[in-house]
């Protein structure tokens, strides 16, 4: 997957859906009104009543335009009220999923100077995790299989964890204001949801190897192969979302929560 520009001016976190600027009235309404006005204007020199209708329709068209502008502004204002909170929800979910992938599957546990304060420690941890996940997608399948914690990945706990994350993404996509998300963000979130569900499917396949011992290795190999494919896609998507500004740790202070974050790690 192609990496996105991490310049804060161009990240998805700063972009908005074009739907916020779209008219609330269908184009056909304006087309019919102006076509009718044109026809009335043409016949106005022959019929005084046509001119009266023309004036009345012009006033109605102006009124519709003003109402439409006000509706668009109202929609943008409503979105502005919830935008930061929804962005924070997405960023927190992405951050937790990145941590879950690194820790649960690949035993990510770097040695960091314990004398650092909480903020410095968290920053260093995120920096190392970012590098770790970027390097992870460059490994071939065999190295990924060797690096992962198979016992932890193919467990009921991990199945429940990743299934929960997939459901949380789906819930975000179905909130009232999701229509205002940038289409590219929606695409990434849907892909992440589907791949997390696919990972859960691979975990189920692997666990069949324990239930059906006569074909145990076959089921386990199918599970391993499927898991590696989806894990690679998941990490790539998580890296993209992080680069787009959607990866944020829990606030360590009330001041941090109020900031419009654009994390780099």
pLDDT, tens digit only, all 265 positions of the chain: 444 444 444 566 556 544 444 544 455 555 655 556 555 555 555 555 555 565 566 666 656 666 665 555 556 666 676 777 888 889 999 999 999 999 999 999 888 888 888 888 888 888 999 999 999 999 998 898 889 999 999 999 999 999 999 999 999 998 877 777 888 889 999 999 999 999 999 999 999 988 888 888 899 999 999 999 999 999 999 999 998 888 877 665 444 444 444 444 5
Which residues are CB-contacts of 45 (< 8 A; sequence separation ≥ 6)?
none
Tell me whether residue 187 is in a domain. yes
Beta-carbon neighbour count of residue 67 at 10 Å? 12
> Hey, what are 227's tokens?
């898991």
Q: Specify the pLDDT at position 183.
A: 85
Tell me whether residue 48 is in a domain. no
Tell me whether residue 14 is in a domain. no
d(CA 117, CA 157): 32
Name the domain count of the chain: 1
Tell me whether residue 23 is in a domain. no
Tell me whether residue 63 is in a domain. no
- Provide the residue range defining the domain that includes 100: 80-258
Tell me whether residue 41 is in a domain. no
Tell me whether residue 217 is in a domain. yes
Tell me whether residue 264 is in a domain. no
């Amino acid at each position: 997957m192609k990496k996105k520009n991490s310049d804060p001016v161009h990240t998805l976190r700063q972009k908005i859906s074009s739907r916020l600027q779209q008219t609330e009235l269908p184009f056909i309404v304006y087309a019919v009104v102006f076509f009718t006005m044109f026809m009335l204007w043409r016949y106005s020199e022959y019929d005084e009543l046509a001119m009266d209708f023309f004036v009345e329709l012009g006033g109605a068209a102006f009124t519709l335009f003003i109402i439409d502008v006000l509706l668009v502004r109202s929609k943008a204002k409503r979105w502005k009220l919830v935008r930061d909170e929804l962005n924070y929800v997405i960023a927190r979910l992405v951050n937790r999923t990145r941590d879950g992938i690194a820790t649960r599957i690949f035993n990510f546990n770097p040695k960091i100077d314990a004398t650092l304060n909480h903020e410095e420690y968290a920053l260093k941890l995120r920096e190392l995790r970012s590098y770790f996940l970027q390097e992870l997608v460059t490994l071939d399948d065999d190295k990924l299989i060797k690096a992962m914690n198979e016992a932890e990945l193919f467990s009921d706990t991990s199945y429940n964890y990743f299934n929960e994350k997939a459901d949380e993404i789906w819930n975000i996509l179905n909130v009232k204001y999701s229509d205002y998300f940038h289409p590219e963000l929606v695409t990434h979130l849907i892909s992440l949801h589907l791949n997390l569900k696919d990972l859960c499917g691979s975990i189920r396949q692997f666990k069949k190897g324990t239930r059906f011992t006569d074909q145990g290795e076959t089921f386990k190999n199918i599970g391993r192969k499927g898991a590696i494919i989806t894990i690679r896609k998941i990490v790539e998507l998580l890296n993209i979302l992080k680069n787009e500004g959607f990866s944020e740790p829990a606030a360590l202070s009330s001041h941090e929560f109020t900031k419009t974050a654009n994390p780099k790690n």
